[in-house]
Chains A and B, each alone.
Chain A
């Protein structure tokens, strides 16, 4: 019952938050000079003024601001995110088309980064001044500080051009034929480099965080007690210490949910991954208001869901959370 109460409260917050996100962003976008008619004209190599006026009239851009806002919010409240000015198709359809690619990329990268990061963190926490620990620190900081588009291009030059193991761009090779497994393998081949590039950023966060918390836990009283009881090091590290050290890592993973769109933009662009990140970037450049707002709506939704899931995960590993 308590869980239901939590969910309901959270959902109420979420709806208010989503509405605020939309109104605020609609206003912000409206304040910027120029509009989508200009980008449409740009995509056409220029346009006669009469055509521009007609585009503005078509999309209601010639209406006063408040009327545009009310029209838009009215549509959203009836579960219609509107029609993309630039891609001339319904925004919901556009987003749903791109969402799976982004989720696949971001989840794979997160999971890879989390597993590798925690393992590296734990290893280096056990011998904080060992050679391996320094190597992990260097490796993590390098991944974190190198711009991801640069890492991406380097990976491409290394593994698509010099050693031709992986394809350069996109999510699938439309020229190959075959059954389900052939296509699955094809997507996986396309997935490898973008996932490595994207996880290189997160890896540093996870490994540094788990190293720090692990070192802290390993020095705490109950670990000393456990050791004094005569438990094996292995059992102390993996059963007692790791479980406690994991809470901050899970919190971090939850926060990263918000990076579903923002974090992947550059990687998606370099690898032409047909996801939400590139769509977000392009629609901002194109001043395609309904698409931008639609994506913000979805990412706000992601954050809300992510926080909810984080809470449950924390409850699972940390019994102290359950009473709250």
Chain B
């Protein structure tokens, strides 16, 4: 029961922090945030993604929240414990917590939420091992697990485990298409819905019944929807908007760094964990050969990409785990540019240079903004070692997804998100039982028995040191075998006005975390 102590310690630590920091906060005011897309659904229990996360995390609370050191902190659960065999996770809920309609938040709501998320949330691996939830009393929920499941901790935070009211969503209607997902939302979080206009804005106001005395500081949060990144930047610059997250266009990031009254930060994105990468189909053509894939890695000058394409805005990434994660292993081959080595590997693999060329290969480009310059550079770089790349741009996402899903590609430029624990967002790319199963699965056709074994063991290893070692070995293997060449962490940045205090850069979930402690300076 050692974790109980940790939870209690964390609780006192936050309380102390609150006490010391509580002298100067302004209460009230309207924070104007902005995001690039309209959420399909506001209820994060049935819809993932960062636009739903921004507003959904304000309206719905999770049991835990994370600080910037990846330590779980109490949120809707004031403390928690994991049994010694790892098969029971007990959550002790805040006793005075109520939903927006005044109904108390009970352990039965937790049990109901787990059931809904387990069935309808797109990330199955989060709660798959949860066999049942016991509710010994109104404020205690016990999650029973089929096997130890350390990923559960991160899965209980951010937008991933939103506690939804059973008395609203348990009426027999399909939770996925429930009418209360977008209208008259009754949530458990610090802010409640005032108005949602798709394509325009989401307006939320302070939930007066929030359990933590004095919070949230803000009266209102208005999240405007501005699809064009240049327009968003201007709105931040002229003060019309206070806060924008997930901004990843290097030119705009650098412009904002120079702008007056605007702060720019790339902290707080480790949980979301987005990585830009070049995926390789290991089941066909020259890319079947590991040496060819390594040669490609040696032929690409990552430094050039970091400086000229990303303009100094991105962090290096060498494996499939985000560099901010405590599980990241930086001690792997960085594949510093080495054209001689690349040529030697290609010769060895049996692709001799003939008339300045070795072979042709295609590169699928995901239809997201901003990926073109990287692919253009890669084409140039690979032509130097005799690999002739044809760039193929898909007109829209479904077309690209279809090509990937049927593995009808050689290479593909893309970005994939970690979503907290590797079990949730990393394993899907490498496990041999997940080959070509939908969007962002193992579409590389990669299969390595040791990798499967390591990922399976790590998924059930509650000892942090042992778990880290397992993931370190896994990262060494994929770095060496190069089913994916990792370019960099997507340069996600948060822009915020000088007025904004406690911006969501102090955790791991960016804006997919509650803004209950954000306040505005005069």
Query: Which residues of B373-426 are within 8 A (CB) of A?
Result: 396-403, 405, 416-417, 419, 425
Query: Across the interface, do B438 and A49 meet the contact criterion of CB distance under 8 Å?
Result: yes
Query: Across the interface, do B240 and A271 meet the contact criterion of CB distance under 8 Å?
Result: no
Query: Across the interface, do B397 and A272 meet the contact criterion of CB distance under 8 Å?
Result: no
Q: Does B500 contact A (CB under 8 A)?
A: no
Per-residue contact bits, chain B 219-248, to A (CB 8 Å; 1 contact, 0 not): 010101111101110110110110000000
Query: Across the interface, do A161 and B238 meet the contact criterion of CB distance under 8 Å?
Result: yes
Q: Does B322 contact A (CB under 8 A)?
A: no
Task: Please give, as numbers and ranges, the residues of chain A lying within 8 Å of B479 by CB-CB distance.
Answer: none
Inter-chain CA distance A284–B352, complex, in Å, is 45
Q: Given the interface contacts A157-B234, A270-B228, A271-B231, does A34 sit within 8 Å of B122 by beta carbon?
A: no
Closest to B195 in A: A174
Q: Which of A35, A88, A156, A284 contacts B234 (CB 8 A)?
A: A156
Q: Does A186 contact B (CB under 8 A)?
A: no
Query: Across the interface, do A44 and B199 meet the contact criterion of CB distance under 8 Å?
Result: no
Inter-chain CA distance A46–B440, complex, in Å, is 6
Query: Across the interface, do B397 and A38 meet the contact criterion of CB distance under 8 Å?
Result: yes
- Do most interface residues of chain A lie in helix, strand or loop, or is the interface mixed? helix
Query: Which residues of A108-134 are within 8 A (CB) of B?
Result: none
Closest to A149 in B: B228
Task: Please give, as numbers and ranges, the residues of chain A lying within 8 Å of B201 by CB-CB distance.
Answer: 170, 174
Closest to A167 in B: B240
Q: Does A52 contact B (CB under 8 A)?
A: yes
Query: Across the interface, do B122 and A44 meet the contact criterion of CB distance under 8 Å?
Result: yes
**Count, A-B residue pairs, CB within 8 A:** 169
Query: Across the interface, do B402 and A170 meet the contact criterion of CB distance under 8 Å?
Result: no
Query: Which residues of A165-188 are within 8 A (CB) of B?
Result: 167-171, 174-175
Q: Does B212 contact A (CB under 8 A)?
A: no
Query: Across the interface, do A48 and B396 meet the contact criterion of CB distance under 8 Å?
Result: no
Looking at B47, B230, B401, B402, the one whose CB has the most chain A CB atoms below 10 A away is B401
Task: Please give, as numbers and ranges, the residues of chain B lying within 8 Å of A48 by CB-CB distance.
Answer: 122-124, 437-438
Q: Which of A36, A52, A87, A279 contacts B438 (CB 8 A)?
A: A52
Query: Across the interface, do A285 and B47 meet the contact criterion of CB distance under 8 Å?
Result: no
Shortest A222–chain B CB gap in Å is 51
Q: Which of B176, B203, B238, B397 contacts A164 (CB 8 A)?
A: B238
Q: Does B350 contact A (CB under 8 A)?
A: no
Inter-chain CA distance A38–B122, complex, in Å, is 12
Q: Does B113 contact A (CB under 8 A)?
A: no
Looking at B203, B226, B231, the one whose CB has the most chain A CB atoms below 10 A away is B231
Q: Does A252 contact B (CB under 8 A)?
A: no
Looking at B227, B228, B238, B397, the one whose CB has the most chain A CB atoms below 10 A away is B228
Q: Which of A38, A94, A285 contacts B198 (CB 8 A)?
A: A94
Q: Which of A33, A36, A168 contacts B399 (CB 8 A)?
A: A33
Q: Which of A42, A94, A175 contacts B32 (CB 8 A)?
A: A175
Task: Please give, as numbers and ranges, the residues of chain B lying within 8 Å of A199 by CB-CB distance.
Answer: none
Query: Across the interface, do A170 and B224 meet the contact criterion of CB distance under 8 Å?
Result: yes
Looking at B40, B50, B417, the one whose CB has the most chain A CB atoms below 10 A away is B40
Query: Across the interface, do A278 and B122 meet the contact criterion of CB distance under 8 Å?
Result: no
Inter-chain CA distance A153–B50, complex, in Å, is 26
Q: Does B439 contact A (CB under 8 A)?
A: yes
Q: Given the interface contacts A34-B399, A174-B222, does A49 sit within 8 Å of B441 by beta carbon?
A: yes
Q: Does A262 contact B (CB under 8 A)?
A: no
Shortest A213–chain B CB gap in Å is 38
Q: Does B48 contact A (CB under 8 A)?
A: yes
Inter-chain CA distance A98–B227, complex, in Å, is 16
Q: Does B49 contact A (CB under 8 A)?
A: yes
Q: Which of A45, A174, A271 contacts B203 (CB 8 A)?
A: A174
Shortest A235–chain B CB gap in Å is 49
Closest to B232 in A: A169
Per-residue contact bits, chain A 272-298, to B (CB 8 Å; 1 contact, 0 not): 101000110010110100000000000
Looking at B37, B124, B398, the one whose CB has the most chain A CB atoms below 10 A away is B398
Q: Given the interface contacts A48-B438, A168-B240, does A34 sit within 8 Å of B224 by beta carbon?
A: no
Q: Given the interface contacts A32-B399, A174-B201, does A269 sit within 8 Å of B227 by beta carbon?
A: yes
Q: Does B462 contact A (CB under 8 A)?
A: no
Task: Please give, as numbers and ranges, the residues of chain A lying within 8 Å of B403 by CB-CB distance.
Answer: 33
Q: Does B182 contact A (CB under 8 A)?
A: yes
Q: Given the interface contacts A170-B201, A274-B197, A285-B396, does A38 sit within 8 Å of B401 by beta carbon?
A: yes
Looking at A149, A153, A274, A284, the one whose CB has the most chain B CB atoms below 10 A away is A274
Q: Given the interface contacts A52-B438, A88-B41, A89-B182, does A161 sit within 8 Å of B401 by beta carbon?
A: no
Query: Which residues of A39-66 are within 8 A (CB) of B?
Result: 39-52, 58
Per-residue contact bits, chain B 140-165, to A (CB 8 Å; 1 contact, 0 not): 00000000000000000000000000
Task: Please give, as numbers and ranges, the residues of chain B lying within 8 Å of A175 by CB-CB distance.
Answer: 30, 32, 220, 222
Query: Across the interface, do A43 and B40 meet the contact criterion of CB distance under 8 Å?
Result: yes
Inter-chain CA distance A41–B238, complex, in Å, is 35
Inter-chain CA distance A24–B401, complex, in Å, is 24
Query: Which residues of A85-106 are within 8 A (CB) of B?
Result: 86-89, 94, 97-98
Query: Across the interface, do B396 and A88 meet the contact criterion of CB distance under 8 Å?
Result: no
Query: Across the interface, do B197 and A34 meet the contact criterion of CB distance under 8 Å?
Result: no
Shortest B476–chain A CB gap in Å is 25
Q: Does B38 contact A (CB under 8 A)?
A: yes
Q: Does B333 contact A (CB under 8 A)?
A: no
Q: Given the interface contacts A43-B49, A270-B231, does A88 sit within 8 Å of B181 by beta carbon?
A: yes
Inter-chain CA distance A67–B295, complex, in Å, is 50
Q: Given the interface contacts A38-B439, A45-B417, A49-B441, does A160 sit within 8 Å of B238 by beta carbon?
A: yes
Q: Given the interface contacts A160-B238, A272-B227, does A51 sit within 8 Å of B401 by beta carbon?
A: no
Shortest A41–chain B CB gap in Å is 4
Shortest A27–chain B CB gap in Å is 16
Q: Given the interface contacts A160-B238, A171-B200, does A88 sit within 8 Å of B182 by beta carbon?
A: yes
Closest to B240 in A: A168
Q: Which of B47, B122, B220 contacts A46 (CB 8 A)?
A: B122
Q: Does B100 contact A (CB under 8 A)?
A: no
Task: Please give, as numbers and ranges, the residues of chain B lying within 8 Å of A287 by CB-CB distance.
Answer: 396-398
Query: Across the interface, do A87 and B40 meet the contact criterion of CB distance under 8 Å?
Result: yes
Q: Which of B198, B399, B441 contacts A87 (CB 8 A)?
A: B198
Known: A41-B440, A161-B237. 11 other contacts (CB 8 A): A32-B396, A34-B397, A45-B417, A48-B124, A49-B438, A52-B439, A153-B234, A161-B238, A171-B200, A271-B231, A274-B199
Q: List 16 A-B contacts (CB under 8 A).
A: A34-B400, A34-B401, A35-B398, A41-B438, A42-B401, A43-B49, A46-B122, A46-B123, A58-B176, A88-B182, A94-B198, A161-B238, A169-B226, A270-B230, A272-B224, A282-B38
5 A-B pairs with the lowest CB-CB distances in the bound complex, closest first: A34-B398, A47-B122, A46-B440, A33-B402, A38-B401
